Structure 1
Amino acid sequence: MVNGFVALARKQPLTAAEFAAVGDGRIAYVKPMQSEQLNALFPEAPELEPGLALFALLGADGSPIVVADSREALIESAREHELVTVAVH
Structure 2
Amino acid sequence: MHARARAMTGAELRDWGLTEVAYLRPLPYEGASLVAIYAADGTPVAIAEDEASAVDAILEQDMVPTFLH
RMSD: 2.2
How far is the alpha carbon of 1:87 from its aligned partner?
Answer: 2.8
For the residues of structure 2 that align with 1:68 and 1:24, how far apart are their CA atoms? 19
User: What's the TM-score once normalised by structure 2's chain length?
Assistant: 0.75
As a proportion of its length, which structure holds more strand?
Answer: 2
Aligned residues: 65
Does 2:62 correspond to 1:82? Answer: yes
Structure (1 or 2) with the larger CA radius of gyration: 1
Does 2:42 correspond to 1:62? Answer: yes
**What amino acid sits opposite 1:56 in the alignment?**
A
**Structure 1 residues 68, 24: CA separation in 2 closer, same or farther (over 3 Å shift)?**
closer
Runs of 4+ in 1 over 4 A off after TM superposition: none
SS in 2 for 1:79: helix
